[in-house]
Amino acid sequence: MDASADTIPTALLDWYDSQARVLPWRSPPGAPATEPYRVWLSEVMLQQTTVAAVGPYFAKFLARWPTVSDLAAAEDAEVMAAWAGLGYYARARNLLACARAVAARGGSFPETEAELRALPGLGAYTAAAVAAIAFGQPATVVDANVERVIARLYAIDEPLPAARKPIRVRAERLTPAKRPGDFAQAMMDLGATVCTPRNPRCLLCPLADHCIGRRDGAERFPVKPAKAAKPQRKGRAFWITRDHAVWLVQRPGLGMLGGMRALPDDGWSARSDGSAIAPLVGTWSAAGLVRHSFTHFDLDLQLMLYSGGDLDRLEGDSGEWWPLDRIAEAGLPTLFAKAARLALAQR
Ligand code: SF4
């Protein structure tokens, strides 16, 4: 067996005994376990939310619904309203479903990770956390903090998400039979306060002597996946003016920039063969390229200026003549605001 599988938990628990964060949902190191309702409630609230933000909500929920059965008996709307501001509202719905399932079995949570996992809305992480922290089961708890600590300790070179498997294997090997709940919380605390994403404080770390990643530049672990190149799209936008006003349209409600005011365009297909139909027959000249990056693709938008005269045909379209001197008030999305700036610079 890896010698570090014994020495690392011991070193970490020694550190935790003096450095544990004091949190409202926690028992002090070595004290009897916190009751499962509190552990579960705090872990659900802490998903995607900071410790500081959770504090007042945790206190409010406990004051209003002191037991899981009290929570189970609450009206849905009451609980949703109490959750308002914490975000990710599916968590509140899952919270209620789980509370009612626990109430239906007499108000006590099951003790094993597998049984906890079978409750509605309880994912692998929360099931392991409740099993370890509330019931002292040797369950391995891996959140983003733990993932970072383990990836650094063992200098796991594989990028995420493939690295999750070796990280879990290493974490399982380290999970001690004694004090697994404190061990899980110690790992979380180490990740949150010492082995931080940026500038880890290795000089203060109880695991520094065992840490391989530290010698290798700790911040590069866990290794991030290579960014996939974004698809490139091309398109054209049309700038048509009359009497110091520009023709703007309302984009369809669904789809990119839905419902926003915009220049007419050709729908930005992947091709740039110029075959898309311009809104008017007449003389068009290319005025330059607007480059814009969306989350899922990059766009090169060719701006076209109209210099024909057949403007009455536009009137039937769903658009409006917008005064050029009030273009800043049109609420154009960034892409079209860039295009407007380019067009105005050429006047
Ligand atoms: Fe993280 Fe540094 Fe500790 Fe390694 S020595 S676990 S990199 S804080």
Coil, strand, or helix at residue 13?
helix
**147 catalytic residue (yes or no):** no
173 with 239, same domain?
Answer: no
Which residues, judged by CB distance below 6 Å to any ligand atom, belong to the binding site of ligand 1?
A: 149, 152-153, 194-195, 200, 202, 205, 207-208, 211, 213-214, 218
Which of 152, 201, 204, 216 maximizes ligand 1 atoms within 8 Å of its Cβ, making it the mutation to test the pocket? 152
Kindly state whether residue 141 falls inside one of the protein's structural domains.
Answer: yes
* Ligand 1 atom closest to residue 207's alpha carbon, by position in its atom list: 3
- Interval between CA 222 and ligand 1 midpoint (Å): 12
Q: Quick count: other Cβ atoms within 10 Å of Cβ 321?
A: 17
335 with 310, same domain?
Answer: yes
257 with 307, same domain?
Answer: yes
pTM: 0.69
209 with 243, same domain?
Answer: no
Categorize the per-residue pLDDT at 309 as very low, low, confident or very high, splitting at 50, 70 and 90.
Answer: confident
- Interval between CA 50 and ligand 1 midpoint (Å): 22
60 with 194, same domain?
Answer: yes
Which of 170, 207, 221 maximizes ligand 1 atoms within 8 Å of its Cβ, making it the mutation to test the pocket? 207
pLDDT in tens, 155-207: 999 999 999 999 999 999 999 999 999 999 999 999 999 999 999 999 999 99
Which of 199, 205, 210, 221 maximizes ligand 1 atoms within 8 Å of its Cβ, making it the mutation to test the pocket? 205
Domain count, the chain: 2
Categorize the per-residue pLDDT at 331 as very low, low, confident or very high, splitting at 50, 70 and 90.
Answer: confident
- Side-chain-facing half-sphere of 98: CA atoms under 13 Å: 25
Distance of CA 123 to the CA centre of its chain: 17
Answer with the one of 199, 220, 241 that is the final residue of a domain.
220
**Torsion sign across C-alpha atoms 40, 44, 45, 51:** positive
251 with 102, same domain?
Answer: no
- Interval between CA 217 and ligand 1 midpoint (Å): 10
Q: Check 35, 43, 147, 329 and give the catalytic one.
A: 43
Kindly state whether residue 226 falls inside one of the protein's structural domains.
Answer: no
Atom 1 of ligand 1, residue of closest alpha carbon: 195
Task: Examine the pLDDT at 28 and tell me if it is beyond 80.
Answer: yes
163 with 253, same domain?
Answer: no
**Do 238 and 304 form a contact (C-beta atoms < 8 A)?**
yes
Mean pLDDT (whole number) for 3-32: 92
* Ligand 1 atom closest to residue 201's alpha carbon, by position in its atom list: 8
pLDDT in tens, 107-163: 999 999 999 999 999 999 999 999 999 999 999 999 999 999 999 999 999 999 999
Residue 192 phi, psi dihedral angles, 5° rounding: -80, -30
Domain at 308, CATH number: 3.90.79.10
Q: What is the pLDDT of residue 1?
A: 43
Q: Which domain holds residue 190?
A: 4-220
Domain at 162, CATH number: 1.10.340.30
- Interval between CA 143 and ligand 1 midpoint (Å): 16
Answer with the one of 186, 220, 254 that is the final residue of a domain.
220
DSSP 6-29: HHHHHHHHHHHHHH----TT-PPT
209 with 236, same domain?
Answer: no
Kindly state whether residue 34 falls inside one of the protein's structural domains.
Answer: yes
- Interval between CA 220 and ligand 1 midpoint (Å): 12
Atom 2 of ligand 1, residue of closest alpha carbon: 202
- For residues 278 and 343, what is the distance between their CA atoms, to the nearest angstrom? 17
Which of 19, 145, 149 maximizes ligand 1 atoms within 8 Å of its Cβ, making it the mutation to test the pocket? 149
* Ligand 1 atom closest to residue 194's alpha carbon, by position in its atom list: 8
Kindly state whether residue 227 falls inside one of the protein's structural domains.
Answer: no
Categorize the per-residue pLDDT at 19 as very low, low, confident or very high, splitting at 50, 70 and 90.
Answer: very high
Answer with the one of 200, 220, 240 that is the final residue of a domain.
220
54 with 150, same domain?
Answer: yes
55 with 187, same domain?
Answer: yes
- Interval between CA 150 and ligand 1 midpoint (Å): 9
Kindly state whether residue 225 falls inside one of the protein's structural domains.
Answer: no
Percent over 70 (pLDDT), the chain: 95
Q: What is the pLDDT of residue 289?
A: 95
H/E element, 168: helix 164-174
Give the type of residue at 178. K
236 with 216, same domain?
Answer: no
* Ligand 1 atom closest to residue 211's alpha carbon, by position in its atom list: 4
138 with 239, same domain?
Answer: no
- For residues 59 and 93, what is the distance between their CA atoms, to the nearest angstrom? 19
**Do 265 and 250 form a contact (C-beta atoms < 8 A)?**
no
- Interval between CA 197 and ligand 1 midpoint (Å): 10
